[in-house]
Amino acid sequence: MRIAYAVAFALVSTVAIAQGPTSAPGSGNPAAVTGGTYTADPDHTLVAWTLDHLGFSPYTGLFGGVTGSLTLDPKAPNSAKVAVTIPVSKVVTASTGLTQHLLRPGKDGGKPDFFGAAPADARFVSTAVVATGQKARITGNLTLNGVTRPVTLDAEFYGAGKMPEQMGGKENVGFHATGTITRSQFGLGFGVPMVGDSVKLDISAAFQK
């Protein structure tokens, strides 16, 4: 048994060395952030939304595939600008029936309950950034379901660094942000008040230079 364990340990160690560094390339140290223009990483930028379900429990869905850009200067954080596009048609929930309902066309050509069969992408464009240390309050305009309204996000620096060369070698920076919107203000009030009107946003934002 000891011999078998030693052989297995040696094999795992060899594979780990061959795969490269064993520590994460990203760091929570803001000194790792470099200025410039970054592109949203659509595979690792996620917008989770949560609302009240009949007063029994919170319910969460997800948007992915986010594209866009972030321009920042570590020496002038308040000059940062972000603009992202969110493909509403790719909304994901744990319920097949709910996902289908969100994207269902209106009856007899009428207004859909939610987004409809071919929804326009949502878009957020910042108008002001107020940074305090590693946190920032970002205000901007959110266009969703054909309606544009101001939205405020509370963001916090998460990590930055350079990917290993075997993984592309690009510089990355990431943030976590939260906010709240009122869905009926965007023409999405179906089910209110049985289903909550207030929607909490929890955003994991990843950008690559």
Indicate the pLDDT class of residue 7, thresholds 50, 70 and 90: very low
Question: What's the rounded mean pLDDT across residues 101-109?
Answer: 93
pLDDT exceeds cutoff 50 at 5: no
Q: What gap in Å lies between CA 15 and CA 121, rounded to an integer? A: 43
Half-sphere exposure for 176 (CA within 13 Å, toward CB): 5
Place of tokens 């990203």: 26
Q: Which two tokens stand for residue 26?
A: 């990203």
For 21, other C-beta atoms within 10 Å of its C-beta total 10
The beta-strand segments (E) located in 11-86 are 36-40, 46-53, 57-63, 67-72, 81-86
pTM attached to this predicted model: 0.87
Query: 155-191, pLDDT tens digit by residue?
Result: 999 999 998 888 888 999 999 999 999 999 999 999 9
pLDDT of residue 1: 47
Q: What gap in Å lies between CA 28 and CA 18, rounded to an integer? A: 26
Relative to beta strand 198-208, strand 46-53 is antiparallel
Q: Which of 67, 45, 73, 183 lies closest to 123, judged by CA?
A: 67
pLDDT exceeds cutoff 70 at 19: no
- Burial class, 183, CB count within 10 angstroms (exposed 0-12 / middle 13-18 / buried 19+): buried
Residue ranges per domain, the chain? 24-208
In CATH terms, is domain 24-208 a member of 2.60.40.10? Answer: no
pLDDT exceeds cutoff 50 at 16: no
Could you tell me if 42 and 200 are in contact, meaning their C-beta atoms sit under 8 angstroms apart? Answer: no
pLDDT exceeds cutoff 80 at 45: yes
pLDDT of residue 108: 86
- Burial class, 45, CB count within 10 angstroms (exposed 0-12 / middle 13-18 / buried 19+): buried
pLDDT of residue 12: 41
CB-based burial, 72-87: b 16+ in 10 Å, e otherwise: beeeebeebbbbbbbb
